[in-house]
């Protein structure tokens, strides 16, 4: 496989995952805006949404103040925002078109029709009430694409690079949501072990579609420590950092078998995966949640660079 093909497959998967995450983040912001508490400080939630999405600076370079209409447009439709749903889908579709001979017909057609249909949304006339419909659409299209991928693709290097893109992006997203939202919501670190009854806590879980599965696992009200444990360490939760790394090491192991050689990315991903399997949530809080997540995202970014260089993504 060409290095460029591997690069495009990686970013195709990564962009689809990011489009879906942007839709989830926007959904959470939208829900919290409707809560009674939001009336006191309507913009706080959008600020944390922008921070979770990693595009605060870019937003304020364009707008002076936080306004629902602007934020929604910025996160969903703005071509100047490289992480907007629009930009992610454009990028995903570009990569799919460049590699249509490496992906299956089902994958191509689901991606191409998503791109064609997305043009049907008009950001100028879209009312806030219609937002849930748009966000659902994005999630459905991402699920459709990923379903087409999982159901039709050979379990060869094409699959491995797609999995790497998906789970490196997902791990990064979960870590950022946790980092930003946690400190916005936790009034004092002393409260980390006590139960809280706050719809906003549900929002963290909701943004990774884990509000119901949390209850299946913990069978009690939200506790900040449990939420952190669930999203970082739970091996069954498909958006937890630990789960992402089991998929990442799995894909890299497969690549090692297919190509008959291993690289720095194999060693480093195994170290991260082992850490996540070994640590307890208490140990994480002892070293500082923020410091832990910062370390994680930097390892995650380093791993992406190592994968790129090991497999000649840029020639």
Partner 1 sequence: MPAAFDEMTGTGTLASGSARQPYGGLADWIAAQPLEALQRKRTDAESVFRRTGITFAVYGDPKSAERLIPFDIIPRIIAANEWRRLSTGIEQRVRALNAFMHDIYHRQEILKAGRIPEELIINNSAFVPEMLGVNPALGIYSHIIGIDLVRTSENEFYVLEDNTRTPSGVSYMLENRETMMQLFPELFAANRVAPVDTYPEDLLKTLVSVAPSNLDDDPVIAVLTPGLYNSAYYEHSFLADQMGAELVEAYDLVVLDGALQMKTTQGLRRVDVLYRRVDDDYLDPLVFRPDSLLGVPGLFDVYRAGRVTIVNAPGAGIADDKAIYSYIPQIIEFYLGQQPILKNVPTYNCRNASDLTYVLEHMAELVVKEVHGSGGYGMLVGPAATKAEVEAFRDKVKANPNNYIAQPTLALSTCPTLVDGGLAPRHLDLRPFVLIGDKVRLTPGGLTRVALREGSLVVNSSQGGGTKDTWILQD
Q: Which of 44, 56, 112, 246 binds partner 1 (CB under 8 A)?
A: 112
221 binds partner 1 (CB under 8 A): no
| Beta carbons of 114 and 89 less than 8 angstroms apart | yes
Q: Contacting partner 1 (CB under 8 A), which of 60, 69, 113, 212? A: 113
Q: Which two tokens stand for residue 112?
A: 């191409």
Q: Give the span between the Cα atoms of 241 and 173, in whole angstroms.
A: 10
* 1 counts as binding partner 1 under rule CB under 8 A: yes
Q: Are 107 and 152 in contact (CB under 8 A)?
A: yes
CB of 193 to partner 1, least distance (A): 47
Does 152 bind partner 1 (CB under 8 A)? Our answer is no
Q: Does 97 bind partner 1 (CB under 8 A)?
A: yes
List the interface residues with partner 1, window 294-313 (CB under 8 A).
Answer: 311-312
Q: Is 6 in the site for partner 1 (CB under 8 A)?
A: yes
For residue 77, the minimal CB distance to partner 1 (Å) is: 18
Among 59, 108, 118, 292, interactor with partner 1 by CB under 8 A: 108
Among residues 107, 177, 196, 118, which one has the least CA distance to residue 144?
107
Would you say the C-alpha torsion 57, 63, 68, 69 has a positive or negative sign? negative
Nearest to 227 by CA among 278, 199, 192, 189: 192
Q: Which one of residues 109, 199, 268, 295 is an interface residue with partner 1 (CB under 8 A)?
A: 109
What Å distances lie between residue 241 and 60, 135, 217, 231, CA to CA? 30, 24, 17, 7
Near partner 1 by CB under 8 A: residue from 63, 137, 218, 259: 259
Count of C-beta atoms within a 10 Å radius of residue 299: 17
| Whole-angstrom distance, CA of residue 240 vs CA of residue 246 | 10
98 scored as a contact of partner 1 (CB under 8 A): yes
**Minimum separation from the CB atom of position 9 to partner 1 (A):** 10
Q: Does 157 participate in binding partner 1 (rule CB under 8 A)?
A: yes
Q: Does 116 bind partner 1 (CB under 8 A)?
A: yes
- If one asks whether residue 94 binds partner 1 (CB under 8 A), the answer comes out as yes
Q: What is the DSSP letter of 196?
A: -
Stretch that binds partner 1, among 39-47, 48-56, 93-101, 143-151 (CB under 8 A): 93-101
| Residue placing its CB nearer to partner 1 in the complex, 63 or 121 | 121
Residue 78 CA to residue 83 CA, distance in Å, equals: 9
Task: Say how far apart CA 110 and CA 267 lie, in whole Å.
Answer: 35
Rule CB under 8 A: is residue 101 a binding residue for partner 1? Answer: yes
- CB 122, min distance to partner 1, A: 17
Residue whose token pair is 């693709």: 153
For the CA atoms of the chain, what is the radius of gyration? 19
- Which tokens sit at 262? 């291993």
Sites of contact with partner 1 (CB under 8 A): 1-6, 94, 97-98, 100-101, 108-109, 112-113, 116, 157, 259, 261, 311-312, 315
């Amino acid at each position: 496989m060409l290095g460029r093909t591997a690069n495009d497959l990686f970013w195709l998967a990564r962009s689809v995952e990011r489009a879906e995450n942007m839709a989830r983040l926007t959904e959470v912001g939208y829900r919290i805006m409707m809560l009674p508490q939001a009336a006191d400080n309507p913009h706080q939630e959008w600020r944390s949404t922008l921070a979770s999405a990693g595009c605060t600076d870019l937003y304020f370079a364009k707008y002076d103040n936080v306004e629902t209409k602007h934020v929604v447009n910025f996160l969903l439709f703005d071509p100047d925002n490289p992480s907007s749903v629009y930009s992610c889908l454009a990028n995903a579709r570009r990569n799919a078109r460049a590699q249509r001979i490496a992906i299956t017909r089902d994958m191509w057609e689901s991606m191409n029709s998503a791109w064609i249909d997305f043009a049907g949304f008009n950001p100028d006339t879209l009312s806030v009430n219609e937002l849930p419909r748009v966000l659902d659409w994005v999630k459905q299209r991402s699920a459709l694409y990923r379903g087409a991928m999982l159901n039709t693709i050979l379990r060869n290097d094409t699959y491995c690079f797609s999995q790497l893109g998906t789970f490196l992006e997902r791990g990064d997203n979960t870590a950022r949501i946790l980092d930003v939202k946690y400190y916005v919501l936790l009034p004092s670190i002393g409260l980390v072990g006590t139960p809280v009854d706050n719809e906003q806590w549900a929002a963290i879980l909701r943004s990774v579609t884990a509000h119901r599965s949390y209850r299946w696992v913990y069978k009690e009200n939200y506790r900040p420590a449990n939420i952190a444990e669930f999203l970082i360490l739970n091996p069954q939760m498909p958006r937890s950092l630990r789960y992402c790394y089991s998929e990442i090491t799995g894909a890299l192991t497969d690549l090692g078998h297919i190509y008959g050689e291993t690289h720095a990315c194999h060693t480093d991903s195994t170290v991260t995966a082992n850490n996540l399997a070994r640590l307890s949530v208490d140990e994480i809080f002892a070293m500082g949640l923020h410091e832990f997540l910062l370390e994680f995202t930097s390892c995650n970014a380093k791993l992406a660079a190592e994968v790129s260089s090991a497999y000649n993504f840029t020639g």
